Structure 1
Amino acid sequence: MKISLNKQSILLLSVNGLFVLAGALSGTFLNVYLWKSRQDYSMIGWFTISQQLALGLTFWVAGKWVKEHNKMNALRMGTAVTGLFYLLVLWAGKEAVNYIWPLGILLGTALGLFWLAFNVVYFEVTDAGNRDLFNGWVGLLGSVTGIAGPLLSGWIISRLEDDQGYRIIFTISLVIYGVSVLLSFFLKKRKAQGTYEWLEPFRRLGRQGDPWRAAVPGLFAQGLREGVFSFLIYLLVYVATTQESKLGQFSFITSAVGLGSFWLAGKWFKPGYRYKGMLIGSVLLVLVILPMLWQVSYSTLLIWGIGTSLFMPLYILPMVSAGFDLMGASASNVEKRVELVVLRELSLMAGRIAGTLVFIGVVSYSRTPSALTWVLVVLGCAPLLSWFYMRQLLNPRYRREGSK
Structure 2
Amino acid sequence: MKISLNKQSILLLSVNGLFVLAGALSGTFLNVYLWKSKQDYSMIGWFTISQQIALGLTFWIAGKWVKEHNKMNALRLGTAVTGLFYLLVLWAGREAVNYIWPLGILLGTALGLFWLAFNVVYFEVTDPDNRDLFNGWVGLLGSVTGIVGPLLSGWIISRLEDDQGYRVIFTISLVIYAVSVVLSFFLKKRKVQGTYKWLEPFRRLSSKGDPWRLVAPALAAQGVREGVFSFLINLLVYVATTQESKLGQFSFITSAVGLGSFWLAGKWFKPRHRYMGTLVGAILLVLVILPLLWKVGYNTLLIFGIGTSLFLPLYILPMVSAGFDLMGTSGENVDKRVELVVLRELSLMAGRIGGTLIFILILSFSQTTSTLTWLILALGTAPIFSWISMRRLLKAGTRKAS
Instruction: Output the TM-score relative to the length of structure 1.
Output: 0.98
| Native 8 Å contact 1:47 1:101 kept in 2 | yes
Aligned: 1:363 with 2:363: yes
| Native 8 Å contact 2:47 2:100 kept in 1 | yes
Q: Structure 1: any 5+ residue segments left out of the alignment?
A: none
Mapping 1:181-260, distance limit 5 Å? 181-260=181-260
| Native 8 Å contact 1:85 1:107 kept in 2 | yes
Deviations 1:203-232 (A, max 9, x none): 001111100000000000000000000000
Deviations 1:158-206 (A, max 9, x none): 0110000000000000000000000000000001100000000000011
Backbone CA RMSD of aligned residues: 0.9
Distance 2:77 2:6 in 1: 25
**Offset of residue 45 of structure 1:** 0.2
| Native 8 Å contact 1:392 1:398 kept in 2 | no
Partner residue, 1:372 = 372
Partner residue, 1:117 = 117
Partner residue, 2:21 = 21
Distance 2:238 2:398 in 1: 45
Aligned: 1:344 with 2:344: yes
Deviations 1:282-309 (A, max 9, x none): 0000000001111111011000000000
| Native 8 Å contact 2:272 2:398 kept in 1 | no
Counterpart amino acid of residue 207 in structure 2: R
| Native 8 Å contact 1:135 1:317 kept in 2 | yes
Q: Structure 2: any 5+ residue segments left out of the alignment?
A: none
Aligned: 1:291 with 2:294: no
Alpha-carbon distance change, 50 to 399 in structure 1, aligned in 2, over 3 angstroms = farther
Distance 1:89 1:301 in 2: 29
Distance 1:90 1:130 in 2: 41
| Native 8 Å contact 1:222 1:348 kept in 2 | yes
Distance 2:211 2:237 in 1: 39
Partner residue, 2:165 = 165
**Offset of residue 399 of structure 1:** 6.6
**Offset of residue 364 of structure 1:** 1.1
**Offset of residue 400 of structure 1:** 3.1
Distance 2:64 2:332 in 1: 17
| Native 8 Å contact 2:204 2:212 kept in 1 | yes
| Native 8 Å contact 2:31 2:231 kept in 1 | yes
| Native 8 Å contact 1:272 1:396 kept in 2 | no
Counterpart amino acid of residue 16 in structure 1: N
Aligned: 1:335 with 2:335: yes
What secondary structure sits across from 2:21 in the alignment? helix
| Native 8 Å contact 2:271 2:398 kept in 1 | no
Counterpart amino acid of residue 27 in structure 1: G
Distance 1:204 1:398 in 2: 24
Distance 1:84 1:365 in 2: 37
| Native 8 Å contact 2:45 2:356 kept in 1 | yes
| Native 8 Å contact 2:273 2:398 kept in 1 | no
Mapping 1:50-69, distance limit 5 Å? 50-69=50-69
**Offset of residue 108 of structure 1:** 0.1
